[in-house]
Amino acid sequence: MKQAVAALLAGAFLLAPAPAAAASSDPVAALKSQTAVGKGVTFSDVSSFIELSGTTKVMSRRGTLQYGKTGFAATDVSIKPLSEEKATSSLLVPERVITVGKSSYRKGGAFAGELPKGKVWVKTRKPLPAGLVGSFGQPVNAAEVPTLKALVSVAERSGRIYTGSITFAQLRKVSPWARATVFGGANDDPIRFTLTLGPGDLPAKLVTTFQARGHWLQYGAEGDEISHNTVYKGWGKKYTIAAPPASQIYTGKK
């Protein structure tokens, strides 16, 4: 009898299905699930200049990205210089930019000039979601679905970390954010990146590095680099970004 029971148990064990393998993460699908109209994410980043003498933190940005039917419906980005020496040489000054649809409104920033009494915002001729000053910050936006898809497609993955490189030309081809914020023509210089996923397989941290010459106000010597460290938080929350009061906006018309 004992032998019969043992044989029965052994047969049941052999017939039992093997445990299902853990599902692989899909950051692109995870991001798509967070892009409903009105939802969004906040980000903060620090831009640093790297040379032989050391690393200097030059600029920080904080912002909110609100999704629409396609891509970002509105953004609100504030920029703060962190280095007096670099700020003097590159005209980096505090700036805030609100973009709603195809209209951007700049407050402060380089070349703000004198405004008529009561006007504190300048409406730009074309969308500048990172403004003038902020355009020298992080060029890669991992909160964009096509950009994230491009990054993970060329990266090597180790757990929740993706590492790789993408050229400025490749980035501008897939990224509306890059086309609107990165000045200058597309080129084949590489942007090295490390993307770390957080809870829900959503982007949590993105670090990029590239050569300074040709990309940052023509500043720096051969071998100097620019590094950007971006952190994403608040995925899936509701955000509402509105244009500044019309009475405070200068459009260039009297």
- The rounded Cα 202 to chain-centroid distance in angstroms is 13
Q: What percent of the chain has pLDDT over 90?
A: 67
**Is residue 119 very low, low, confident or very high in pLDDT (cuts 50, 70, 90)?**
very high
Residue 191: predicted pLDDT = 96
Mean pLDDT of all residues in 112-119: 82
List domains and CATH numbers for the chain: 24-250 (2.50.20)
CA 1 to chain centre: 68
Distance of CA 12 to the CA centre of its chain: 53
Bridge partners of 66? 40, 74
**Higher pLDDT residue, 135 or 253?**
135
Q: What is the pLDDT of residues 156-174, one digit of tens each?
A: 999 999 999 999 999 999 9
Read off the pLDDT of residues 182-233 as tens digits, 9 standing for 90 and up: 887 668 899 999 999 999 999 999 999 999 887 766 667 788 999 999 999 9
Write the Ramachandran bin of 223: left for phi over 0, alpha for psi from -120 to 50, otherwise beta. Answer: left
7-16, 65-74, 116-125, 244-253 — which one is most confidently predicted on average?
65-74
CA-to-CA distance for 90 and 182, rounded, in angstroms? 16
Partner residues linked to 207 by β-bridges: 194, 229
The token pair at 239 is 């955000």
pTM equals 0.86
Q: What angle do CA 227, 64, 238 make, to 5 degrees?
A: 145
146-169 burial, b at 16+ Cβ within 10 Å, e below that, comes to: ebbebbbeebeeeeeebbbbbbbe
16 vs 76, more confident? 76
